[in-house]
Amino acid sequence: MLRRWYDIERDLTVMDEWRRRWEEFFTEADRPATRLTGNWPLANLYDSGNQLVVVLEVPGLSEENLQIEAHSDALTITGERKVEVPEGYRAHRQERRPGRFSRTFGLPCPVDLEKTKASLRDGLLTVTLEKHAAVQPRQITVKVE
């Protein structure tokens, strides 16, 4: 079966692209990470009426590895995940990489910084931000006249 040269060239170009992508994949997998990328840690932001609640998944981190900075319109959480091999052991596989992270969340309304609380339990960091009094919902009573 005869083939035209541009058909063969196209096939070689596709094969070369696949080879390049596999090399990038394995090179990236072997490179030690110094900064965690993507949206890590995963987070949820809830509005409970009087409060905003931010919940982050931070398994294996302790309170010493986390820094929380709150402003009236933003919340920034930074931290560092350290992975240490026990003394006398060698790592044969290390999928949990050490690295630093920083996440900033824009808040939908002003918050009272004095009433901000944070707790860490079972790998979940919960930051509770009390809404500023001016934006909290108010109960209005109806009078019959």
pLDDT tens-digit map of 112-141: 888 899 999 999 999 999 988 777 677 788
Residue with tokens 């709150």: 70
Taking the alpha carbons at both ends of the chain, their separation in whole angstroms is 96
Residue, of 7 and 139, whose pLDDT is higher: 139
Query: Does residue 49 share a domain with residue 12?
Result: no
Query: Does residue 48 share a domain with residue 18?
Result: no
Q: What would the pLDDT profile of 10-35 be if each residue is shown by its tens digit?
A: 777 888 888 888 888 777 655 555 45
- We report the CATH number of the domain holding residue 79 as 2.60.40.790
> Alpha carbon 18 to chain centroid distance?
30
Does residue 43 register a pLDDT over 80? yes
The burial class, CB within 10 Å (0-12 / 13-18 / 19+), for 32 is exposed
Q: 0.85 exceeded by the pTM?
A: no
Residue ranges making up the domain that contains 8: 1-31
Report the domain count for the chain: 2
> Alpha carbon 7 to chain centroid distance?
45
Query: Does residue 52 share a domain with residue 78?
Result: yes
How far apart (Å, rounded) are the C-alpha atoms in residues 38 and 143? 54
Does residue 145 belong to any structural domain of this protein?
no
Q: What is the mean pLDDT of the chain?
A: 82
Does residue 126 belong to any structural domain of this protein?
yes
Query: Does residue 54 share a domain with residue 27?
Result: no
Helix, strand, or coil here: 67?
Answer: strand
Does residue 44 register a pLDDT over 60? yes
**Buried b / exposed e along 99-137 (16+ C-beta atoms within 10 A):** bebebebebeeebbeeebebebeeeebebbbbbeeeeee
